[in-house]
Chain A
Amino acid sequence: MHIYEGFLAATPSGQAVLVAGATAAAVATAIGLKKIDYERVPQIAVLSSAFFVASLIHVPIGPSSEHLVLCGLLGLVLGWAAFPAVFVALLLQAVFFSYGGLTTLGVNTLIMAVPAVSCHYLFRDAVRSRNEGTVFAVGFAAGGIAILLGALLAAGAIWAAGAEFRMFSKLVVLGHLPLVVVEGLVTGSVVVLLRKVRPELLEAPLLATSQ
């Protein structure tokens, strides 16, 4: 899901995409920072760490492998605070593992945090349901839709960069389709678990553990 360093910088329109991405990400991260409460700092740090490490968990899909992203989960738990969390984790991934890069940091932050915040608005009420099945379905949908949205955003950024990149944008979307299911299953399971043991993270009542 990361756009690699130097990939978009080759064309003037690609550079424009990078600058626009960086500006938008800076504004959105500032909004996210404004919304952080003192009490929620550890929560953001833990999810940022999870996001940082998740990129190392590779799921074999067909001939290649994709790594977990967890942006749906980040959105459900953090809301707007997903922006600073994603920004910090992506910065560290770029520095330590060369995933993405410093010039693509803004665009990549948008690609992964916009779906997270979208999931927050789409599912924040539904995730409070008292029915375990519904909660899993909501988690599944949030995880899956976040990946789909992220892939579409990445494809859009590549598409906007110029005609020579357009073949890649289709590949980005197709390549992420299997991950939609995997990420949906992971996010669904985590959300059900959170509702059972730490419902306050989702600002929802405790889900009954005994059937």
Chain B
Amino acid sequence: MSRTLLSVFTFCSTVLPAASSANAHQMDILAHVHGSEIHGEAHFHGGVAAKNATVTALDPAGEKIGETETDEQGAFTLVAKFCCDHRLVVKTADGHGAQCTIAAGQLPGSLPPRAGAPDQPADHHDASHEHDQSESIRADLAALREQLHGYEQKTRLRDVLGGIGYILGIAGIAFYLLGLRRREAG
């Protein structure tokens, strides 16, 4: 019994802090488009800015079309040269990373299309600025909604696991109390 307890204790004291610190080093990258510039910031979970991290922009084919570095606040700016989906990959020197995608629809249609990239809808190029903006807001909202949905799913799972954990804890207390009763009776 004591050996089992010891191994549980060892597991809790070694693996769990490691797991939570890995979680603390997960990164997030957020970006939005302003004119033909992509502004964004990269930070670790918990809000710490990712300083001096490399941000690479890749086209849908995976070729590099731009590169920059984050500043002291974790912010970065990248000038878009093409009107295509930009996959932004941020990497720190110690190997942490995250990525997000800026859809081609959010970039001004005046930029040259990337050779090999799928054609943009024809109305995109001569569309009014207002139309562009509402499109971009819609795309942003869709991305936000998706993110929110993912977050909800994640918290739901945590709640389920938390609830089961509580029940196990209560079972442990019941064991303890019934064990006391048993010892007194015996």
> A residues touching B (Cβ–Cβ < 8 Å)?
36-38, 41-42, 44-45, 48-49, 52-53, 56, 88-89, 92-93, 96-97
Q: Residue B182 at the A interface, CB < 8 A?
A: yes
Interface-central residue, B156, B159, B179, by most chain A CB under 10 Å? B159
List B residues at the A interface (Cβ < 8 Å).
156, 159-160, 162-164, 166-168, 170-171, 174-175, 178-179, 182
User: Are B163 and A92 touching (Cβ within 8 A)?
Assistant: yes
Neighbouring A residues of B179 by C-beta, 8 Å:
38
* Cβ-defined partner of A38 (8 Å) among B163, B170, B178: B178
Q: Are A41 and B163 in contact (CB under 8 A)?
A: no
User: In the complex, what residues of A have CB within 8 A of residue B163's CB?
Assistant: 49, 52-53, 89, 92-93, 96
CB of B167 within 8 A of CB of A97, answer no
Within the complex, what minimum Cβ distance (angstroms) separates B151 from chain A? 16
Q: Specify which of A42, A52, A93 is in contact with B171 (CB 8 Å cutoff).
A: A42
Contact B162 A36 (CB under 8 A): no
Using A52-B160, A92-B166 as known contacts, list a sample of 12 further A-B pairs with CB atoms less than 8 Å apart, ordered by residue number in A.
Answer: A36-B178, A38-B179, A41-B171, A41-B175, A41-B178, A45-B170, A45-B174, A49-B163, A49-B164, A89-B167, A92-B167, A96-B160
Which B residues lie within 8 Å of A93 (CB)? 163
Smallest CB separation, A155 vs chain B (Å): 28
Closest 3 CB pairs of A and B: A45-B171, A96-B159, A92-B163
Please give the distance in Å from A34's CB to the nearest CB on chain B.
11
Give every chain B residue within 8 A of A97 (Cβ-Cβ).
159
Query: Contact: A49 with B159, CB < 8 Å?
Result: no
Q: B164 touching A38 by the CB < 8 A rule?
A: no
A130 to chain B, nearest CB (A): 32
Query: Are B162 and A96 in contact, CB atoms less than 8 angstroms apart?
Result: yes
In angstroms, Cα B163 to Cα A56, docked, is: 12
A16 vs B160: C-alpha distance when bound (angstroms): 33
Which residues in A have their C-beta under 8 angstroms from that of B174? 36, 41, 44-45
From B156, which residue of chain A is reached at the shortest CB distance?
A56
Give the docked Cα–Cα distance between A52 and B164 (Å).
8
CB of A137 to closest CB in B, whole Å: 31
Do A88 and B160 form a contact, CB below 8 Å, given A41-B175, A41-B178?
no
How far apart sit A41 and B171, CA to CA, in the bound complex (Å)?
Answer: 6
Whether A53 lies near B160 (C-beta < 8 A) is yes
Picked from B159, B160, B167, B182, the residue with its CB within 8 Å of the CB of A45 is: B167
